[in-house]
Structure 1
């Protein structure tokens, strides 16, 4: 029984890894399940045993991408003890991770198109947006923020970061554009600061 669970995890992991490569470099529409199962070294039956269709396989890949980006955001934010710098570093980490080649097409382009905006947004709310909301709530509780709707601010910042990532993904040399974006975010944060 234990070996069977281990084999199942291994098969799922292999399929997701191979599928992620295909979805990254070919896009959802051009990624072929036949190629994915062949490269993963499993049968088509094994694929359908774990995922009911290509869309469900893609959803699992997107969940992995979003979880990895959230982990990156958390790690970067934790590099500082200062609440504002944590928020800044988290925003910067999100943008940088979202536009990495292995993430941008899956997260920013195919994710909303394949799963629909509502599903994509629910997944975002469980990952990066959740972390942002927690940070903002903590900052409000500790008096760092002006009195403001945390839900409104979370959605506004998250939407701005997603749109910024889409914009930055168009630039082959995005380093300067990221720096300029972070300058804008820094100015925005100044306007949100409570007088202490």
Structure 2
């Protein structure tokens, strides 16, 4: 039942953002409405949490109708799926940008991991992506979104480091899962801390030692 509903709402969202069957002007109008709904929804879900946000609230804040929300996303679950996807993409963009400035692959790994933890200061990350998303979307869908974004970047750089011999053969895949879990938990811990800045610094220093244990040359 859940899989069927989720598939339907996801297809609805894809058709809308692709503008299937619409004229150029209608496509732009549809895309603008989608962006507006997503921007408003991200802020509301981050501020209130999934359970406290209704589609009527989103429609009113967006200056649109409830019917417009249903037309673009199919359901509240469909809207939240799109919100999580957007937040995942934003985090991946931050990680990618940080890694791009590194001088070598190893530094790219370190800078990318650091940026992921820093991104957790944004409530959109720790509340939407790490607290509500697994519960609302289910672990399978959450893992799919993670694997397509930050998880993909982490796996790619570890695979390259393994290929060049910086980390031992056979370590890239398990390291990707271990590091991902450790960083997600770190983000949640720092978000709930009464002293987030020093705790984040301490966590990053510990993360560096964990990463260093993987390096063989």
Are the aligned partners of 1:18 and 1:40 in contact in 2 as well (CA < 8 Å)? Answer: yes
- Say whether residues 1:9 and 2:31 are aligned partners: yes
Are the aligned partners of 2:166 and 2:216 in contact in 1 as well (CA < 8 Å)? Answer: yes
Are the aligned partners of 2:162 and 2:171 in contact in 1 as well (CA < 8 Å)? Answer: no
Match of 2:79 in 1: 57
- Say whether residues 1:84 and 2:123 are aligned partners: no
- Say whether residues 1:136 and 2:173 are aligned partners: no
Match of 2:64 in 1: 42
Q: For 2:68 and 2:84, how far apart are their aligned partners in 1?
A: 20
Residues 172 and 65 of structure 1, relative CA distance in 2, 3 Å threshold: farther
Q: 1:165: how far off?
A: 1.0
Match of 1:145 in 2: 167
Q: For 2:212 and 2:174, how far apart are their aligned partners in 1?
A: 17
Q: Which runs of 5+ in 1 are unaligned?
A: none
Q: For 1:141 and 1:2, how far apart are their aligned partners in 2?
A: 46
Cα-to-partner distance string for 1:96-123 (whole Å, 9 max, x where unaligned): 1123123321011111111111211111
Match of 2:19 in 1: none
Q: 1:62: how far off?
A: 0.6
Equivalent residues in 2 for 1:185-196, closer than 5 Å: 185-195=207-217
Are the aligned partners of 1:69 and 1:98 in contact in 2 as well (CA < 8 Å)? Answer: no
Give the TM-score taking structure 2 as reference length: 0.86
Cα-to-partner distance string for 1:13-65 (whole Å, 9 max, x where unaligned): 11111111110111110112111111111111111111111011011011000
Q: 1:188: how far off?
A: 1.6
SS at match of 1:169: helix
Report how many residues are paired.
195
Are the aligned partners of 1:98 and 1:107 in contact in 2 as well (CA < 8 Å)? Answer: no
Q: Which runs of 5+ in 2 are unaligned?
A: 1-22
Q: For 1:183 and 1:22, how far apart are their aligned partners in 2?
A: 33
Q: For 1:161 and 1:178, how far apart are their aligned partners in 2?
A: 11
Equivalent residues in 2 for 1:64-83, closer than 5 Å: 64-83=86-105
Give the TM-score taking structure 1 as reference length: 0.95
Q: Among 166, 183, 186, which residue is 1:164 paired with?
A: 186
Q: For 1:147 and 1:102, how far apart are their aligned partners in 2?
A: 36
Residues 192 and 149 of structure 1, relative CA distance in 2, 3 Å threshold: closer
